[in-house]
């Protein structure tokens, strides 16, 4: 029989992309109001890996990542995803999103994104939300999976997530 124990707390990471960098500060402030103090904000990542969002949001698209100080319970990600979905709707213009916001969390062994879209590799976690195992961490660093989004395979984003993981591991020791 396995011995049940509480799951580890996780580091909340919210990525967003938009085509108008001038509203990024406003979006970051809204996220901070929802989820608390910010630990790390990434520099800009070019978002030219897919044209999926160009119809709705035009191009070019730019990505930023926001990392929060407070560790979260892993199952909080469902409510966090619902909250950012509402923020996307509030910030839409003429029924088109101006920003796409993707929450996720870091653990020592993996990086998980929350999504409202079902697919074969995604696990339902409640409230119409699914968990997408995006990256796994092994001794040599992050490993991609067949379904990992192309932007999460970029060296720049992998390097950033490596920094976040190191910070998370320090947070756990405190």
**Do the domain assignments include residue 2?**
no
| 3-state secondary structure string across 38-89 | EEEECCCEEECCCCCCHHHHCCCEEEEEEEEEEEECHHHHHHHHHHHHHHHH
Structural domain total, the chain: 1
The CATH number given to whatever domain includes residue 59 is: 3.30.70
SS3 state at 37: coil
CA 69-123-89 angle, to 5 degrees, is 60
**Do the domain assignments include residue 24?**
yes
Domain residues for the domain of 164 are 10-173
**Do the domain assignments include residue 3?**
no
**Do the domain assignments include residue 57?**
yes
**Do the domain assignments include residue 1?**
no
Task: Dump pLDDT digits (tens) for 79-133.
Answer: 999 999 999 999 999 889 999 999 999 999 999 999 999 999 999 999 999 999 9
Q: Is the link from the previous residue into 134 a cis peptide, with omega within 30 of 0?
A: no
Task: Dump pLDDT digits (tens) for 139-167.
Answer: 989 999 999 999 899 999 999 999 999 99
**Do the domain assignments include residue 4?**
no
Does this model's pTM top 0.85? My answer is yes
**Do the domain assignments include residue 92?**
yes
């Amino acid at each position: 029989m396995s011995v049940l124990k509480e799951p580890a707390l996780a580091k909340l990471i919210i990525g967003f992309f938009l085509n108008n960098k001038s509203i990024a500060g406003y979006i970051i402030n809204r996220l901070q109001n929802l989820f608390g103090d910010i630990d790390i904000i990434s520099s800009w990542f070019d978002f030219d890996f897919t044209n999926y969002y160009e119809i709705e949001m035009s191009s070019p698209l730019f990505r930023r990542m926001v990392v929060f100080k407070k560790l979260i319970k892993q199952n909080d990600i469902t409510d966090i995803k619902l909250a950012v979905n509402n923020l996307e709707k509030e910030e839409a213009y003429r029924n088109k999103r101006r920003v796409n916001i993707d929450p996720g969390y870091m653990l020592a062994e993996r990086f998980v994104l929350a999504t409202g879209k079902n697919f074969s590799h995604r696990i339902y976690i409640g409230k119409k939300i699914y968990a997408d195992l995006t990256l796994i961490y092994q001794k040599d660093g992050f490993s991609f999976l067949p379904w990992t989004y192309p932007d999460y395979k970029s060296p720049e984003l992998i390097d950033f997530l490596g920094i976040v993981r190191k910070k998370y591991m320090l947070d756990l020791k405190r």
